């Protein structure tokens, strides 16, 4: 157990900053030659809670074959609608500040902010993200779903380290508070 639960944005993007193509394809990402699992399972051990937007949840349900991938974690899906929880996820229409404060007041491990674009921006704007771990894919895709939406926000970061997994580069930052 940590005394302090960090909220971590852990995500992959193209060099030009897209997390998916306009038609939500990730082929440009899955085609990259990495190394092992590119550090994912190591990271996954550090979190016990997973946050995502409804679009990301729908994408996962549609594309992942077999079990829901975050089955052994507490998984919250942000949506504006009222939806019934499943055995895998809790749907929430709380605002991001409210839910984050609630989670951080509880004991636990780190919290993974999975995506997507709109949800990330709310978290960044509200300065709720403690760490950013960005895995950069060696490709420029020209257009798509941006990792960082244009907006009136500014965050200073502290570089914690970099790692390479074959063609991937992992950039690890702490957000200055």
Under the rule (CB under 8 A), what is the footprint of a second copy? 15-17, 28, 124, 132, 134, 136, 138-143, 147-148, 150-159, 162, 164, 166-169, 171, 173
Nearer to a second copy, 62 or 143 (CB): 143
Nearest distance, CB of residue 165 and a second copy, angstroms: 10
Taking a C-beta distance cutoff of 8 angstroms, is the pair 80, 93 a contact? Answer: yes
* H or E element, residue 7: strand 7-14
Nearer to a second copy, 97 or 158 (CB): 158
Nearest distance, CB of residue 37 and a second copy, angstroms: 18
Cα distance from N-terminal residue to C-terminal residue, the chain: 23
How far is residue 63 CA from its own chain's centroid?
17
Nearest distance, CB of residue 155 and a second copy, angstroms: 4
Give buried/exposed letters for 10-29 (b at 16+ CB in 10 A, else e): bbbbbeeebbbbeebeeebb
Q: At what angle do helices 117-125 and 96-105 cross, to 10 degrees?
A: 70
Nearer to a second copy, 76 or 173 (CB): 173
Nearest distance, CB of residue 97 and a second copy, angstroms: 19
Nearer to a second copy, 61 or 158 (CB): 158
Any idea which residue has 């941006």 for tokens?
A: 146
Nearest distance, CB of residue 22 and a second copy, angstroms: 10
Nearer to a second copy, 77 or 147 (CB): 147
Which residues, 6+ apart, have CB-to-CB distance to 15 below 8 Å? 136, 137, 138, 139, 140
């Amino acid at each position: 157990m940590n005394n302090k639960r960090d909220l971590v944005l852990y995500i992959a993007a193209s060099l030009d900053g897209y997390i998916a193509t306009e038609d939500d394809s990730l082929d440009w990402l899955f085609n990259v030659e990495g190394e092992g699992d590119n550090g994912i399972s190591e990271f996954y051990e550090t979190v016990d809670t997973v946050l995502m937007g409804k679009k990301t949840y729908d994408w996962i349900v549609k594309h992942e074959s077999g079990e829901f991938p975050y089955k052994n974690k507490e998984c919250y899906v942000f949506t504006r609608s009222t939806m019934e929880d499943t055995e895998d996820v809790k749907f929430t229409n709380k605002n991001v500040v409210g839910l984050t404060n609630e989670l951080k007041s509880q004991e636990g491990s780190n919290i993974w902010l999975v995506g997507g674009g709109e949800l990330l921006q709310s978290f960044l704007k509200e300065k709720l993200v403690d760490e950013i771990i960005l895995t950069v894919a060696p490709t420029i895709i020209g257009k798509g779903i941006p990792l960082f939406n244009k907006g009136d926000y500014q965050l200073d970061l502290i570089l914690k380290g970099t790692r390479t997994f074959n063609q991937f580069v992992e950039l690890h930052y702490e957000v200055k508070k």
